[in-house]
């Protein structure tokens, strides 16, 4: 992948755009970044760009795309915008930042004794960040040289730059990958991949649920028999994923080895039984993998009561992460130690404060219906739910039954509040607020000792906030000042 002097257009700035542009310049490419936003909106990212990067803001000039040797697309940019379609029709290669990172790592490693830094890629509608971080911590604790990035933390291209190009010393790259990032991969082949779950999300970008599933399933499209894929045996969509696996096998005669995790039954992989996670890893399935399982015996188990993270969804995350780590050669001690110490991530069912017996929980990362369902299920106490924001063409009626059973009062904000109110169909007392602080104070007023005030919006944040992190931080600030 010779990039010296090559004209490369990076579409969309933000984290991925900055990481891609700066890394491409370091590799000798002639780089131009385009973004439809104005300089004021792009200020936080512009100051992080290498001075050699050229910038075109306020749109995507068609002539720039037509003259490119390579186009790198950031995740937030839809592939159907006219300049990309024109470039595609002309045969100009269009790849994602994920694909760019993969190719650069492969090239760097190929120059050093043919060694390979293996990618471990994790996707799914919910649980990606927690699972990805757990895998990273487990492998690091086991002594591997590992970096983490993608849809979490820094862009992968930025992490690669931060590793100072000592890729020959790198064992694993743990990547959280979204459906958007997977849309424009080509050769990306992780050693291990996982689809944690798939529930309706981003239907404002995809024409159908099937299109969303197709995008997620691209994660395993280049994997072969010495790679592995981890699936959720309890997720009804897994049957559709397996249909796509079988279709791939019939077309190209190659598929990864498949392992499962389940809270409901024994499977080949990891499963929950009497609040204990057990493992079933037959040698017939593991013997062809490129990494050998270390110090593992069939009596190895994990007590969920020892975990710092709580909730049914985190048991699933723990099973998936443990399975990925073990299949990558991680020690059993590193797996168990990590789960005993890991406190969870910010904005994911994060405990903020207790006031007069009322617990305030920040779950700002709950940006879709499936995530909110799991969050509500995690509490036995009555819940005052704060929800709403920018709709992603979600079906909020799926919340109706659980809200009726578990939610004491519902406080709604943002652009989607009327739609959510209509969807829950008067199953609970509903309060509509225009201001976020007022909504939080209203929830406090409605709560009694023993209740939980839960921010879990089921929506994107961009109608009122910079992102879900900004929303979560503002929630915590208001709560801490009550």
pLDDT of res. 312: 83
Residues of the chain with pLDDT under 70: 1, 109-115, 163-168
pLDDT of res. 165: 47
pLDDT of res. 162: 75
pLDDT in tens, 319-359: 999 999 999 999 999 999 999 999 888 898 899 999 999 99
pLDDT in tens, 35-82: 999 998 888 889 899 999 999 999 899 899 999 999 999 988 888 899
Contact 62, 86 (CB under 8 A): yes
pLDDT in tens, 222-266: 999 999 999 999 999 999 999 999 998 888 778 899 999 999 999
Secondary structure of the chain in HEC code, one letter for each residue: CCCCCCEEEEECCHHHHHHHHHHHHHCCCEEEEEECCCHHHHHHHHCCCCCCCEEEECECCHHHHHCCCEEEECCCCCCCCHHHHHHHHCCCCEEEHHHHHHHHHHHHHHCCCCCCCEEEEEECCCCHHHHHHHHHHHHHHCCCCEEEEECCCCCHHHHHHHCCCCHHHCCEEEEECCHHHHCCCCCCCCCEEEECCCCCCCCCCCCCHHHHHHHHHHHHCCCCCCCEEEEECCCCCHHHHHHHHHHHHHHHCCCCEEEEEECCCCCCEEEEECCEEEEECCHHHHCCCCCCCCCCCCCCEEEHHHCCCCCHHHHHHHHHHHHHHHHCCCCHHHHHHHHHHCCCCCCCCEEEEEECCEEEEECCCCCCHHHHHHHHHCCCCCEEEEEECECCCCCHHHHHHHHHHHEEEEEEECCCHHHHHHHHCCCCEEEECCCHHHHHHHHHHHCCCCCEEEECCCCECCCCCCCHHHHHHHHHHHHHCC
pLDDT of res. 334: 97
Angle, vertex CA 192, rays to CA 98 and CA 184, nearest 5: 25
pLDDT of res. 167: 65
């Amino acid at each position: 992948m010779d990039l010296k002097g090559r004209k490369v257009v990076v579409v969309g700035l933000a984290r991925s755009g900055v990481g891609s542009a700066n890394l491409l310049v370091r590799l000798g490419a002639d780089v131009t970044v385009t973004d439809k936003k104005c300089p004021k909106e792009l200020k936080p990212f512009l100051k992080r760009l290498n001075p050699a990067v050229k910038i075109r803001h306020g749109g995507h000039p068609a002539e720039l795309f037509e003259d490119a040797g390579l186009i790198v697309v950031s995740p937030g940019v839809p592939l159907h915008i006219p300049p990309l379609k024109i470039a595609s029709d002309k045969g100009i290669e269009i790849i994602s930042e994920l694909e760019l990172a993969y190719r650069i790592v492969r090239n760097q490693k190929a120059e050093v004794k043919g060694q390979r830094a293996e990618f471990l890629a994790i996707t799914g509608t919910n649980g990606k960040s927690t699972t990805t971080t757990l895998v990273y911590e487990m492998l690091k604790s086991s002594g591997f040289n590992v970096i983490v990035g993608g849809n979490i933390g820094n862009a992968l291209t930025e992490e690669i730059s931060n590793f100072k190009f000592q890729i020959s010393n790198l064992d694993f790259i743990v990547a959280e990958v979204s459906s958007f990032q997977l849309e424009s991969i080509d050769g990306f082949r992780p050693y291990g991949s996982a689809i944690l779950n798939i529930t309706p999300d981003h239907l404002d970008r995809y024409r159908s649920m099937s299109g969303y599933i197709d995008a997620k399933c691209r994660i395993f499209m280049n994997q072969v028999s010495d790679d592995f894929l981890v699936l959720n045996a309890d997720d009804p969509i897994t049957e559709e994923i397996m249909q796509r696996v079988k279709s791939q096998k019939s077309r190209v005669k190659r598929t990864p080895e498949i392992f499962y995790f389940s809270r409901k039954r024994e499977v080949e992989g990891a499963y929950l039984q009497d609040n204990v996670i057990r493992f079933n890893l037959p040698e017939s399935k593991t013997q062809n993998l490129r990494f050998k399982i270390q110090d593992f015996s069939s009596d190895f188990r994990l007590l969920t009561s020892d975990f710092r993270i709580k909730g049914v969804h985190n048991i699933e995350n723990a099973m998936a992460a443990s399975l990925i780590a073990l299949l990558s050669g991680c020690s059993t001690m590193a797996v168990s130690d990590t789960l005993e110490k890991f406190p969870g991530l910010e904005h994911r069912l994060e405990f903020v404060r207790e006031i007069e017996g009322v617990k305030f929980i920040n779950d700002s990362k709950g940006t879709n219906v499936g995530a909110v369902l799991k969050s509500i299920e995690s509490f036995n106490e009555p819940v005052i739910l704060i929800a709403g924001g920018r709709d992603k063409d979600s079906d909020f009626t799926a919340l109706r039954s659980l809200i009726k059973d578990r939610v004491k009062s519902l406080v709604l904000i943002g652009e989607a509040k009327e739609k959510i109110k209509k969807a829950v169909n008067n199953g609970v007392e509903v309060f509509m607020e225009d201001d976020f602080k007022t909504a939080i104070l209203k929830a406090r007023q409605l709560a009694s000792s023993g209740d939980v005030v839960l921010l879990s919006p089921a929506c994107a944040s961009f109608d009122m906030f910079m992102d879900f992190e900004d929303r979560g931080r503002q929630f915590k600030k208001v709560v801490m000042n009550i």
